[in-house]
Amino acid sequence: PCLLVLQALQKEVRAALGPGDPREVLSSVCRLRVTREDLGTLREGQWLNDEVINFYLQLVVERSRKAGYPSVHAFSTFFYTKLLSGGHTAVRRWTKGVDIFQKDLLLVPIHLTVHWALVVIDLRKKTISYYDSLGQRGTKICQTLLHYLQEESRSKGAPELAASGWTLHSLEASQIPQQRNQSDCGVFLCKYAEHLCRETAFSFSQKHMDSFRKQMVWEILHQRLL
């Protein structure tokens, strides 16, 4: 039975990545849609696009609603770029209807032109951590996001958020799984987020990326994480 299930999953993934109308919507959740063309970025060697990353992080958020998981809010892949260009004013309405300070973890995908990274803000521990699969530093990014939190707190009429109580750090390359090619940064971002939001140690490496890509296709098609 296990083999039959695996074969069925593989057949479904192949069909989704196969020929067809690139504009066909293959999955949707919370006003996010993924087309056949979007899913194509999960083929081996392709860079994941915004739609796939946003969709996957939303699946992480949906899972976090279950008992036993920390509560999670995921920002859009467009959030940080907008924050950089226009400051808090430009993204003030992005949290309309959600009090981010009532969450445990905030996920901030970072688009660095030709590279993806992830910032995780732990509101319980008051930490802002930068995860980069190429081992790059993200100190300024963490500082920008701390300033955003201060502005957001002020705009919501909450008490002043003191920077002195917060710890900002970039994870060293030796501390987290690293990519060994030029195309898997988006997959690493997603898997960092998935592991951190179920509070489990990283147990993957570059060799798992191809199978992760296939698994992510299935998870997106079925709107749930395995």
User: pLDDT, tens digit, for every residue of 93-115?
Assistant: 999 989 999 999 999 999 998 99
Q: What is the DSSP string of the chain?
A: -HHHHHHHHHHHHHHHHSSS-TT-EEEEETTEEEEHHHHGGGSTTPPP-HHHHHHHHHHHHHHHTSTTS--EEE--TTHHHHHHHHHHHHHGGGGTT--GGGSSEEEEEEE-SS-EEEEEEETTTTEEEEE-TT----HHHHHHHHHHHHHHHHHTTPPP--GGG-EEEEPPTTTS---SSSS-HHHHHHHHHHHHTTT------GGGHHHHHHHHHHHHHHTS--
pLDDT for 2 equals: 64
Annotated catalytic residue, options 73, 132, 184, 197 = 132
Taking only the tens place, the pLDDT of each residue in 146-188 is 999 999 999 988 888 999 999 999 999 999 999 999 999 999 9
Instruction: Give pLDDT tens digits for 115-147.
Output: 999 999 999 999 999 999 999 999 999 999 999
Band (pLDDT 50/70/90 cuts) for residue 5 is low
* 2 assigned to active site: no
Topology, domain 70-178? Adenoviral Proteinase; Chain (3.40.395)
Higher pLDDT, 185 or 67: 185
- Is 30 among the residues known to form the active site? no
Choosing from 115, 147, 169, 208, which is the catalytic residue? 115
The active-site residue out of 142, 185, 190, 197 is 185
User: Can 21 be counted among the known catalytic residues?
Assistant: no
Domain ranges within the chain, ordered by starting residue: 70-178
pTM: 0.94
